[in-house]
Structure 1
Amino acid sequence: MSKLRPFLYISALLLILIPTSIVLIADASFNSLFSYIVISISLILVMMGKTITVFEKRKEGKKTSTDMGAIIGLTIVLLIVIFDN
């Protein structure tokens, strides 16, 4: 599971950086629906990575409150993004 976590974070980062760089370089714009989808998918990928971190820390008996707070915060942001339409 720990090998999957960096892939999730890198995928989320690339999902944000690639469209942003296209907009900045080519001076093109994307549909707002595309932007919502990209942001939602990247938030879900980060939340999945944090969930894996929580499970790994629970197995080791470490403190998970910061990761749980991040998951709760990202869930709130995701709900705001989804229901903002």
Structure 2
Amino acid sequence: MIGEGPIVSLISGEEEGDGGDYVGDRVLASLPPRAPSPEEIEGSALKIGDIKAAQEMASAVRKQVLSEMNVAILAQANQTPGNARSLLQ
């Protein structure tokens, strides 16, 4: 079927190179992409798992920081009730 398998071309001719003249034939081949091996798939899955774990950890840290900021704001508001309105505006 067309589009499957390697594509091979034969090029004949003369070509000047660094060391002098090149005379002869060359074969150019274009190979189709190969399917990933099971090891490559497993490695990719592990990397994806690591990324998801890092994202979950970052989310937990972000929530903790926001929670601590809220506690600090409420503590400051409780200490100085007159400033409570300015903190919320």
> Which structure has the bigger radius of gyration?
2
Q: Which has the higher contact order (CA 8 A, sep 6+)?
A: 1
TM-score band by shorter chain is 0.3 to 0.5
Higher fraction of helix? 1
